[in-house]
Amino acid sequence: MAKEYLVVLFPRARRVKINGQFMGMTNRKLELEGGRYEVALGQPFNFTPETVEIDLRNTSSLTPMTVEFMEGSK
């Protein structure tokens, strides 16, 4: 499978969970295989939405997919 790229945006540094596994940090480029994923952040749980489902395809290192989480309670 082709490598795809994702950046998870959040105002603070936070661990990023991909399908329940910690895979990197917010605001940094992650390299994954193409496919469907559930993206979430690590604790504390002061962000929305709780999770984001994505279909990661047709990205490049220069044009990664972005997913944004906002500060605030669920």
Share of the chain above pLDDT 70, in %: 96
Q: Can you give the pLDDT at residue 44?
A: 93
Where does the pLDDT of residue 2 fall: very low under 50, low under 70, confident under 90, or very high at 90 and above?
A: confident
pLDDT 10s digits, 28-70? 999 999 999 999 999 999 999 999 999 999 999 999 999 999 9
Q: Looking at domain 3-69, which of 2.60.40, 3.30.60, 1.25.40, 1.10.260 is its CATH number?
A: 2.60.40
Cα–Cα distance, 38 to 51 (Å, whole number): 6
Q: Can you give the pLDDT at residue 43?
A: 94
